[in-house]
Amino acid sequence: MARISPGDTLRVMLVSESELLREQVDTILTQYAGEHRIFWVTQPELAPRRAEDLLPHLVLIDDDLHGAPAPHVVRQMVLAVPNAVVVVIVDEHGMAVARQAVLSGARGFVTKPLMAEEFWSTVHQLLTENRMPDEPVGQAIRVGKVVVFIGPKGGTGRTMMAVNTALAILEQTGQSVVMVDADYSAPALDVVLNLEGERDISTLLARASRLDKDLVASVLARHTSGLQVLLAPPPLYGALEISLPQVEQIVSQLRLMFDWVVIDLGALLDDSGYAFLDSADYVVMTVLPELVCLRNARLLLDQLVARGYPEERVWIVLNRAGINGGVSKDDIEARLHVHIRHTIPDDQPLVSLSINRGVPLYLSHRRSAVARAIEEFAAMFVAGTTKQAVKTDHPVEAPAQPSSNPLSRMFRRFSSAGAAR
């Protein structure tokens, strides 16, 4: 998939040797499209491969490419990213080239010199027509909420909380829930949900430029509870490499398919970790009542706030509260100036048993103190997040306006006009 969805930043690939053209396109997009990224490729033979990696929503092909006829480049780009909008930019006397380009699969053409209004109205119309096929015009569509679970260090109970909270949300709301195992160096959802041997995200990465609902659905593992899961591959050859556009494409597609997308995120080591965080509507941070963890929690929270993350969308949960020698909730709140939304009691035998059996305790031990605490947390969370709705009825307007996702843009690693020669 390379179709624009709500909250997406418009990604544009320009295949041209002209720096002037790049500047002109950038100026027009800044004026009309708001947030966008341009990937500039000067060598047409490299363009298809780059497009498969960068997954642009829009591909602009200059007809003035030495040695490479524009219709031929159009054909290659359509094969590489079939769902992108491909537009050729032709000389004002280049109608024959434009016609051939359209016959080769271009959705349209614009003429040089670029006229800002005309250019944008053509591009905007084509992107609008290219919305997801099952999105009816003007009607409300499902745009699921993305909840990312993080921990200031390993072993804080992030996976335990994410899985059991997802099950509680599923039960309490009756809505659809998908989980993503985004801890690529130490995946765990296959074990804790007993889903071994299922397909995983690597199938999607290999075909990210052709992502659609059916492909994603075919890769998801189905748990007997009704929860669906996008598993991580076994970490046999080191951590999996996922690019920022791939994360955006996959999360966008899941948002359209599910009411809740619950992500178990590993340590923030690379761009893909930040990309998952960037897609979040809410963050749940699990902390333990011990000093090292709390010090790191404060640092992580400061980092989030410094980048403009709204603190009220970061929900801190104190796990293993009441453990012998642990710091008390009041102490933590007073010393670290954080608001702890909920506490989960300590029960090592039960949590270990549940992990080892591959049956989440929310299903097997509903009356336990841990399950009940998670049930309460999920109820609070659902109520709290419903007040701050993130749904939008106008996905088509996404390219014309800055993202409405309050957490997006905080972790952007690309500049808006990063050249990709």
Ligand X SMILES: Nc1ncnc2c1ncn2[C@@H]1O[C@H](COP(=O)(O)OP(=O)(O)OP(=O)(O)O)[C@@H](O)[C@H]1O
Instruction: Give the binding site for ligand X (CB under 6 A).
Output: 151, 154-160, 183, 186, 188, 319-320, 344, 346-348, 351-352, 355, 370
Compute the distance between CA of residue 59 and CA of residue 107 in angstroms, rounded to an integer: 10
Task: Mark residues 188-227: x for contact with Mg ion by CB under 5 A, - for none.
Answer: x---------------------------------------
**Given the complex with ligand X, which of 250 and 285 has the nearer CB atom?**
285
**Given the complex with Mg ion, which of 76 and 159 has the nearer CB atom?**
159
The partner in contact with residue 370, picked from Mg ion, ligand X, none with C-beta cut-offs of 5 to 8 angstroms by kind, is ligand X
The partner in contact with residue 308, picked from Mg ion, ligand X, none with C-beta cut-offs of 5 to 8 angstroms by kind, is none
Task: Mark residues 48-77: x for contact with Mg ion by CB under 5 A, - for none.
Answer: ------------------------------
DSSP calls for 278-338:
HT-SEEEEEE-SSHHHHHHHHHHHHHHHHTT--GGGEEEEEEEET-TTPPPHHHHHHHHT-
Cβ at position 305, least distance to Mg ion in Å:
24
Check residue 114 and give left, alpha or beta (phi > 0: left; psi -120 to 50: alpha): beta
Compute the distance between CA of residue 366 and CA of residue 381 in angstroms, rounded to an integer: 19
Cβ at position 107, least distance to ligand X in Å:
44
User: Which residues, at least 6 apart from 22, have a Cβ–Cβ distance to it below 8 Å?
Assistant: 14, 16, 38, 40, 417, 419
The partner in contact with residue 154, picked from ligand X, Mg ion, none with C-beta cut-offs of 5 to 8 angstroms by kind, is ligand X
Compute the distance between CA of residue 126 and CA of residue 122 in angstroms, rounded to an integer: 6
Total binding residues toward Mg ion, as defined by CB under 5 A = 2
User: Does 164 sit near Mg ion (CB under 5 A)?
Assistant: no
**Given the complex with ligand X, which of 143 and 160 has the nearer CB atom?**
160
**Given the complex with ligand X, which of 287 and 338 has the nearer CB atom?**
287
User: Does 165 sit near Mg ion (CB under 5 A)?
Assistant: no
Cβ at position 82, least distance to Mg ion in Å:
36
**Given the complex with ligand X, which of 28 and 370 has the nearer CB atom?**
370
User: Which residues, at least 6 apart from 316, have a Cβ–Cβ distance to it below 8 Å?
Assistant: 284, 285, 287, 297, 301, 338, 339, 340, 341
Cβ at position 200, least distance to ligand X in Å:
17
Cβ at position 157, least distance to ligand X in Å:
3
**Given the complex with Mg ion, which of 38 and 232 has the nearer CB atom?**
232
Pairing of strands 260-265, 228-230: unpaired
Single residue of 156, 159, 246, 272 touching Mg ion by CB under 5 A? 159
Q: Please check whether residue 245 is in contact with residue 55, taking contact to mean a CB–CB distance below 8 angstroms.
A: yes
What order do you get walking across the sheet with 85-90 strand by strand? 36-41, 10-15, 58-62, 85-90, 108-111
Short-list 241, 246, 204, 209, CA closest to 221: 204
User: Does 354 sit near Mg ion (CB under 5 A)?
Assistant: no
Cβ at position 125, least distance to Mg ion in Å:
46
The conformation of residue 68, written as its DSSP 8-state character, comes to S
Beta-bridge mates of residue 384 = none
Cβ at position 353, least distance to ligand X in Å:
9
The partner in contact with residue 160, picked from Mg ion, ligand X, none with C-beta cut-offs of 5 to 8 angstroms by kind, is ligand X
Q: How would you label 184-220 residue by residue, b for 16+ Cβ within 10 Å and e otherwise?
A: beebbbbebbebeebebbeebbeebbebbeeebeebb
Cβ at position 265, least distance to ligand X in Å:
10
Cβ at position 377, least distance to Mg ion in Å:
17
The partner in contact with residue 347, picked from Mg ion, ligand X, none with C-beta cut-offs of 5 to 8 angstroms by kind, is ligand X
Helical H runs in 58-157?
70-80, 95-103, 116-129
Q: Which residues bind Mg ion (CB under 5 A)?
A: 159, 188
